[in-house]
């Protein structure tokens, strides 16, 4: 029992020393920050950061107000959709190739590449049309994906012939 009491006292003493050490480190960090913030170079840096943020805001407004921006935005979305479709086609083609041949390797002219099959859960239902994501985001219009209700066929019960 005396050993337990001595160990507890030692633990409490060390904990208080750790708390004092932590407070000392915190005080050193704060004094370092105060020293840095007092330098004229730091003040110049903060002013430069504020000027950069202001310039960014002006640039965003200028880009948004450019007359060609809406047409450029719509034209720039098309290649992204095409690339996504091409990647999806390549993925399906590689899956079909591995299923039909049983091979997970592609032989090219000068090298052999391994096919990596990955699985993920789709965000849309099979057969549901894919809507262009974000096409109206810059105009502040939200286009929700329409919800489809499963078709339920009701049969007439109790009808006699």
pLDDT (tens digit per residue) in 77-131: 677 777 888 888 888 888 888 888 888 888 888 888 888 877 776 666 666 665 5
| Phi (first) and psi of residue 93, to 5 degrees | -65, -40
- For residue 19, being part of any structural domain is answered with yes
- For residue 146, being part of any structural domain is answered with no
Do both 60 and 91 map to the same domain? no
- For residue 125, being part of any structural domain is answered with no
Give yes or no for a contact between 148 and 125, defined as CB atoms under 8 angstroms apart: yes
pLDDT digits (tens, 9 = 90+) for 27-63: 999 999 999 999 999 999 999 999 999 999 999 888 7
Between 70 and 139, name the one with better pLDDT.
70
- For residue 58, being part of any structural domain is answered with yes
The whole model's pTM is what? 0.35
Do both 85 and 40 map to the same domain? no
Give yes or no for a contact between 113 and 92, defined as CB atoms under 8 angstroms apart: no
What's the number of domains the chain is made of?
2
Do both 60 and 14 map to the same domain? yes
| Owning domain of residue 22 | 9-65
């Amino acid at each position: 029992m005396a050993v337990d009491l001595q160990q507890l006292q030692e633990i409490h003493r060390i904990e208080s020393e750790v708390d004092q050490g932590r407070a000392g480190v915190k005080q050193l960090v704060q004094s370092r920050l105060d020293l840095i913030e007092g330098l004229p170079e730091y003040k110049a840096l903060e002013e430069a950061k504020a000027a950069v943020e202001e310039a960014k805001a002006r640039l965003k407004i200028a880009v948004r107000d450019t007359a060609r921006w809406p047409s450029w935005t719509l034209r720039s979305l098309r290649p992204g959709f095409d690339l996504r479709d091409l990647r999806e086609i390549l993925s399906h083609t590689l899956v079909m190739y591995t299923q039909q041949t049983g091979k997970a390797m592609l032989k090219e002219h000068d090298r052999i590449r391994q096919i990596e099959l990955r699985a993920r859960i789709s965000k849309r239902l099979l057969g549901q049309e894919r809507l262009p994501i974000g096409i109206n985001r810059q105009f502040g219009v939200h286009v929700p994906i329409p919800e489809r209700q499963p078709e339920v066929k009701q049969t007439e019960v109790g009808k006699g012939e």
